[in-house]
Amino acid sequence: LKVEVSFAGGDGSFGEDRLRSPWFEPILSDMMINYGSMPKADYPQYDPELGSPDFEYVIITPDDPIFISYAEELALFRNMQGIRTGIFTTTEVGGNTTSAIESFVNDAYANWAIPPVAFLLLGDYGDAGNTIISPIWNSYCASDNIYADVSGNDLPDVIFARMTAQNETHLEIMISKVINYETDPPTDPDFFNHPITALGWQTERWFQICSETVGGYFKEVHGKSPVRINEIYSGTPGSSWSSNQNTSMVVDYFGPDGLGYIPATPAELGGWSGGNAQDVINALNDGAFLLQHRDHGSTTGWGEPDFQSSDISSLTNTDLSFIFSINCLTGKYNMSGECFAEKFHRYTYGGENAGAFGLIAASEVSYSFVNDTYVWGLFDNMWPDFMPDYDTEPAPRGLLPAFGNASGKYFLEQSNWPYNPSNKVHTHHLFHHHGCAFSTLYSEVPMNLTVLHDNVLLAGITGFNITADDGALIALSVDGDIIGTGMGTGSQITIPIEAQQPPTFVDVVVTKTNYYRYHAQVEVIPPAGPYIIQNDVTINDAAGNNNGQMDYGEAILLSLEVKNVGVEDGENVEVSVTTDDAYITMTNSQASYGTVAAGETKTIVDGFALDVANDIPDLHTAHFNVSATSGTDVWESSFTLKGHSVALTYVQVIVDDASGNGNGKLDPGETANLNIYVGNTGSADAYEVMGDLTCPDPTLTINTASQNYGEIAAAAEVMQSFSVTPDLVTPPGTVMEFTIDIEAQTGFTAQGLFSLSVGQKPILIIDLDISPHNSGPHMFAAIEELGIGVDYTTSWPDNAELYNTIFVCLGIYSYNHTLSPSEGTELAAFLNAGGNLYMEGGDTWFYDDPTAVHPMFNISGVADGSDDVDVLSGQAGTFTEGMSFNYAGDNNYMDHINATAPAFIIFENNSPAFFSGVAHDAGTYKTIGCAFEFGGLANGAGISTRVQLMDEYLTFFGIKKVTDRPAMPEGDEQVCQNSGDITYTTTAVAGADMYFWSIEPDYAGSVTGAGTEVTIAWSDMHLGAAYVRVCGMNSIGVGPTSDSLIVMIMESPTAVMSGTEFVCEGGQANLSVNLTGVAPWQLVINSEPYTANSSPFTFSVSPTANTVYSVSSVSDAGGCMNVGEGSTEVTLLDLPGQAATPEGPNSVNTGDTPTTVYTTSGAGDAIDYTWEI
């Protein structure tokens, strides 16, 4: 159903704008669904000319000087804080009567220009002496809420608080508790880390849900470690939080399907009994910023855990706690004696304030369910993320219990959670705040505010420049009279003020939740001559990212505006800007402003310059001093700038194995993506972010070691995927440690560490049977006989997540172990992560208190039993069908059990007949629970043996070893070196998730794949026979190996040519090729085929030009191929020309001249000559 509300006409306002208050506004935003439709509040400002008192906070006190003096002390404290506070005596309001007080409240609300938002009644209940009367609602309870309810709908229109002081001692204690707590708060981190929840379990009520949701919120959202102090009033914490008909509504909201503050069942949480007064005393003395109690109560204390007024005297806690006492009667302040809340509030130890600095408690008998709902609304007002679905605006608000008290009543009024809505009105009138209406809690270690302002104020000035943290309340006052207020922004603001005259000191008070209260005095000095101070500053970062803020590594120009707040002109004004900040370097710190007339503002655009360090911390506040001089006059002022930087952080890793088995876990042999998220929690963008992943484990291959995250904007996250592959033979359960190193531009670095388990070990036996260990060793032997890996321990492990299945042996009385709540919680987490669990024990199902894991078995305990187990029979239609065992184990108080669907019975005792074993398939996990010992089963005939039963157990859990061998691989049986990828196949076998292929020797080739079809790349490192085998495997282990396929790896042939040949044009050259391999060879030489029958192979060529001859392909009779090596170059020579006619004697006398020389002038292109006669 979608509802749209439209507004037409009107003047744009709702109700009376004068009733809008910044203090009550969060309650409006809590209660209104469409608060966003409200116009932005323009809160009315105090104007003495309006003629009405207009106090935001009104203290009504008995007309007694002592009471009035303490009221004045508190009023001064609040006025200095910026809360306009006034005091009225009972005489001034018309008398100490209910009608007079109610008329006074109604009149102020209706007629003051700014009506009160809160009232404090400073006095105990009564109509005489120093008391203040309360009306009685419906003849039932004292109720100051009647005063608070102006409109008559039983809901508070203003906030009411009461301090039940009877005398000066009480006044001193109660007022000083308020002031001391806020000016000197506790600082011990443990004080804030250990809030206390206390309750009494009652199955019919919501006591347990109320307090545990509060504790769960602080644990889950704020990371605190609440102290739980619980006791049982009636009923048994088990599988249900309460028997009330509306319980599912609140469990759905606060439980695991909602906010996750409480588990699905109380048994999962445990720790419900044993709480007592000493536990409360110890927890408060150790320190806690609050205590939330829910149970029955009386005027003198709590029912469960039993903590009475007399026990308060044992407290020594001088760090004070706030107490939410949500029960009956503990706040019955109209009784004749001292009620529990009053004792707590008035308590001191050794002369120092102790106990509580404030409480919320009921003035009469209260009602369940409505009270619990009221508490949830109260806490959601103080911590809006307590119930984030109930959107609230505005976000800034204090931790103000009195305002939470009112808001909780509005939340209750609209809620449909309580089954008894007629009792809502009782809660509205019952619960009162004991303390100051504006008391604030500290929930974290206090921090220092960053406040910057001038130390003097020039008389007559009507504005005060100040810088304070965003959301801080700034108040300026003189002698308790407020002259101006403002809200901090983190930057300089100007608060309009009434002009002041000396001799005056202005009190500057700045407050913010979980910060120390800041208080300083500023002296008002008389005007004389010029007085020049900084007035504003503007950043120019155009040389950087030009976003107008001071980012890391930037060169900044500053335009500084100064103002002459004096009464004369300043001449020859020189201004310098300096800083001692380690992250700022001034590169131009001086500027000349010339003459600055009285009242004038003047700016030198880009007159100053600075460099910001690359390593400036994010949101670092840099302080700058401004010194203006004119002659001998020097005026000092200051300003701050916020630095913005990068804060890189590793966020999380998610295993994406969609290409593998898709179980979200890293498994042996599986290639998966590690999706690693990197965040930037800083307020400036990070650039060029790189991530480098490393892991020292030698069995892991990181396929993608580096990723570019690019730009990560401020407050953003970016994910990149890193591919990894654990070796197929990585032992299941191996924990691998990873490091992600992150680096961004300009040197920002971060490092993330995480670990991942590769696969899981099959089985762990946790044998907690005290002695002897009757079952564990028999389980171990049976599992080993089945050939499945198993570990055995007799102590609680710290690494259960490494295992797929756990067997827990608890034993039989009187040698049994009782499962502890923490052990049960760990086992529940193990199941929730997808594990399987067997657990046996004689008392664990009925007699012992259940833990978080017990409800997950879907076993209901029927009876404690006795020594009555004799013959255990398997059940038809289950995995134990046909089995029967005589039982000879320990046999004392054997629990009788039953199955809750969809769980089913697996064993029944013969006589007497009862069920003793249950199995449960929950979908995401499986369990088996037995009330007898596995080791007590006597081996029988046929299938009735422990080994066979264990095999059935493991089969139910999905643990089945691969028992069949795959067929011998098929594929090429004769291959050549470097022949590329060749496919080999085998047949699938039952139970195998993947297949492990091996080659012997392993250097002969490499396998790609882990299925029934793989490819093998044969290397050149081996010749001759190689053996290929394969086996099936799963998370449990490796199955038998196939027969070997023998593959002959043949040497590749070679063909080598070399040298150079010369041949004359038209001539023929004889070339040779040296061959290896199996003859004959087929050659391709310069695209021409040849057949060679022997080596060397000779062939003839007659080139017509210079030619290089090489073998482009060679194959031998073995079927192997290769590319030839080298080449032979044939150089073609031109034919020579005709030689010239020889010259020499044409006749000789041989007798006289036996030798004669002849010559020729040669022939063209000839390199040699042949002579003939």
Q: Which residue has the higher pLDDT, 972 or 34?
A: 972
Residue numbers of the domain that contains 465: 452-525
Find the helix or strand (DSSP H, E) in which 310 lies: helix 309-312
The mean pLDDT value for 1122-1140 works out to 89
Query: Which of 312-326, 402-416, 1118-1132 has the least mean pLDDT?
Result: 1118-1132
**Cis peptide leading into residue 1096 (ω within 30°):** yes
The gap from C-alpha 1133 to its chain's centroid, in whole angstroms, comes to 86
pLDDT category at 188 given cuts 50, 70, 90 is very high
- Residue 771 pLDDT greater than 80, yes or no: no
User: For position 583, which CATH number holds?
Assistant: 2.60.40.10
Arithmetic mean of pLDDT over the chain: 93
Q: Kindly state whether residues 1004 and 1037 are assigned to the same domain.
A: yes
* CATH number, position 1015: 2.60.40
Is residue 298 assigned to a domain? yes
CATH number for the domain that contains residue 104: 3.40.50.10390
Within-domain flag for 8: no
DSSP letter string over 214-264? HHHHHHHTT---PEEEEEEEES--SS-S--STTHHHHHHHHSTTTT-SS-S
pLDDT in tens, 27-39: 888 888 777 777 7
Residue 1034 and residue 1047: Cα distance in Å, rounded?
Answer: 27
Q: Detail the DSSP E strand segments found in 421-569.
A: 431-434, 452-453, 456-458, 463-467, 473-478, 481-487, 492-496, 504-511, 518-525, 532-540, 550-551, 555-564
Q: Which of 169-178, 693-702, 1032-1041 has the lowest mean pLDDT?
A: 1032-1041
Domain for residue 487, yes or no? yes
For residue 1161, what pLDDT band results from cuts at 50, 70 and 90?
confident
CA distance 595 to 605: 16
Residues 564 and 676 in one domain: no
**Within this chain, do residues 661 and 785 fall inside the same structural domain, yes or no?**
no
| Phi, psi of 245, rounded to the nearest 5 degrees | -65, -25
Among 171, 237, 169, 162, smallest CA distance to 205 is for 237
Q: Does the pLDDT of residue 665 top 90, yes or no?
A: no
Packing angle of the helix pair 168-183, 65-81 (nearest 10 deg): 10
Same domain, 414 and 491: no
Asked if residue 1125 lies in contact with residue 1149, where contact means CB atoms within 8 angstroms, the answer is no
Q: Structural domain tally of the chain? A: 8
**Do 247 and 365 have their domain in common?**
yes
Residue 1170 covered by a domain: no
Worst-scoring range by mean pLDDT, 110-114, 347-351, 580-584, 708-712? 110-114
pLDDT in tens, 483-533: 999 999 998 999 999 899 888 999 999 999 999 999 999 999 988 899 999
- Give the C-alpha separation, 785 to 779, whole Å: 10
On whether both 521 and 537 belong to a single domain, the answer is: no
| 583 and 639 within one domain | yes
Q: Are 468 and 379 in a shared domain?
A: no
Is residue 1157 in a domain? no
Report helix, strand and coil shares of the chain as percent, to nearest 5: 15, 35, 45
Reply yes or no on whether the pLDDT at 1158 is more than 60.
Answer: yes
**What's residue 980's pLDDT?**
81
- What does the alpha-carbon distance between residue 148 and residue 158 come to, in Å, rounded to a whole number? 5
Q: Give the model's pLDDT for residue 527.
A: 84
Is residue 395 over pLDDT 70?
no
Averaged pLDDT for residues 537-565: 96
Pair type for strands 871-874 and 884-886: antiparallel
pLDDT computed for residue 378 by the predictor: 97
For residue 421, give the 3-state DSSP assignment. Answer: helix
Task: Quickly list DSSP for 38-93.
Answer: SPPP------GGG-S---SEEEEE-S-HHHHHHHHHHHHHHHHHT--EEEEETTTT
Flag whether pLDDT at 216 surpasses 60.
Answer: yes
Sheet with strand 686-694: strands edge to edge: 706-712, 686-694, 734-743, 749-758
The helix/strand/coil state of 204 is: coil
Peptide bond into 966 cis (omega under 30): no
Dihedral (Cα; 1111, 1113, 1116, 1122), 10-degree rounding: 100
459, 525 contact by CB (below 8 A)? yes
What's the pLDDT band for 630 if we cut at 50, 70, 90?
A: very high
Q: How far apart are CA 491 and CA 1034, in angstroms?
A: 63
Around Cβ 981, how many Cβ atoms within 10 Å?
12
Please, which residues have CB within 8 angstroms of residue 755's CB and are 6 or more apart in sequence?
Answer: 735, 736, 737, 738
Give the mean model confidence (pLDDT) for residues 731-745. 93
- Inform me whether the pLDDT recorded for 421 exceeds 60: yes
Most confident of 276-290, 788-802, 1066-1080: 276-290
Q: What is the per-residue burial (b if ≥16 Cβ within 10 Å, else e) of 97-126?
A: ebeebbebbbebbeebebbbbbbbbbbbbb
With H, G, I as helix, E, B as strand and everything else as coil, classify residue 168.
helix
* Domain C-terminal end among 728, 758, 788: 758
Note whether residue 995 is domain-resident.
yes
Of 906, 994, 518, give the one whose Cα is nearest residue 729. Answer: 994
Q: What is the mean pLDDT of residues 2-19?
A: 78
Mean pLDDT within 831-854: 94
Max avg pLDDT among 905-919, 1013-1027, 1055-1069, 1149-1163: 905-919
3-class secondary-structure state, position 949: helix
Are residues 742 and 841 both part of a single domain? Answer: no
As a whole number of Å, the CA-based R_g of the chain is 46
- pLDDT band for position 51 (cuts 50, 70, 90): low
Domain finish residue from 900, 927, 956: 956
Q: pLDDT category, 1065, cuts 50, 70, 90?
A: confident
* For residues 301-325, average pLDDT: 98
Judge if 945 and 845 occupy the same domain. Answer: yes
What are the start-end ranges of the E strands in 931-993?
974-976, 981-985
Q: Is residue 546 part of a domain?
A: yes
Confidence at residue 1, expressed as pLDDT on a 0 to 100 scale:
62
Strand bridging mode 85-89 / 57-61? parallel
Q: Are strands 926-930 and 836-840 parallel, antiparallel or unpaired?
A: parallel
Confidence band of 218 (pLDDT split at 50, 70, 90): very high
Where do the DSSP E strands lie in 747-796?
749-758, 761-767, 790-793
Q: What is the mean pLDDT of residues 652-657?
A: 95
Task: With respect to residue 173, please indicate whether it lies within any of the assigned structural domains.
Answer: no
The reported pLDDT for the residue numbered 396 is 57
Binned at pLDDT 50, 70 and 90, residue 161 comes out as very high
Q: In angstroms, rounded to a whole number, what is the distance separating the alpha carbons of residues 277 and 314?
A: 10
Tokens 């007798």, residue located = 1151
| Average pLDDT score over residue span 114-140 | 97
Q: Which two tokens stand for residue 973?
A: 């049986």
Backbone phi, psi, residue 536, to 5°: -165, 160
Q: Which pLDDT tens digit goes with each residue over 846-884?
A: 999 899 999 999 999 999 999 999 999 999 999 999 999
Of all residues in the chain, what percent carry a pLDDT higher than 90? 79
> Measured between alpha carbons, how far is 921 from 46 in angstroms, rounded to an integer?
70
CA distances (Å), 438 to each of 116, 120, 513, in order? 13, 9, 12
Return d(Cα 360, Cα 358) in angstroms, integer. Answer: 7
Q: Are residues 117 and 67 in the same domain?
A: yes
Q: What pLDDT, on a 0 to 100 scale, did the predictor assign at position 425?
A: 98
Spatial distance between the Cα atoms of 1087 and 1103, rounded to a whole number of angstroms: 14
Q: How do 1054-1057 and 1125-1126 pair as beta strands?
A: parallel
Let me know how long the chain is: 1173
Residue 8 — pLDDT band, cuts 50, 70, 90?
confident
Cα 116 to Cα 129: distance, rounded to the nearest angstrom = 26
At residue 547 the predicted structure's pLDDT band, cuts being 50, 70 and 90, is very high
Determine if the peptide bond prior to 503 is cis (ω within 30°). Answer: yes
Distance CA 237, CA 270 (A): 8
The CATH number for 810's domain is 3.40.50.880
Provide the pLDDT for residue 392. 59
How much is the pLDDT for 46? 74
pTM over cut 0.85: no
Judge if 841 and 936 occupy the same domain.
Answer: yes
Lowest mean pLDDT among 561-570, 572-581, 1151-1160: 1151-1160
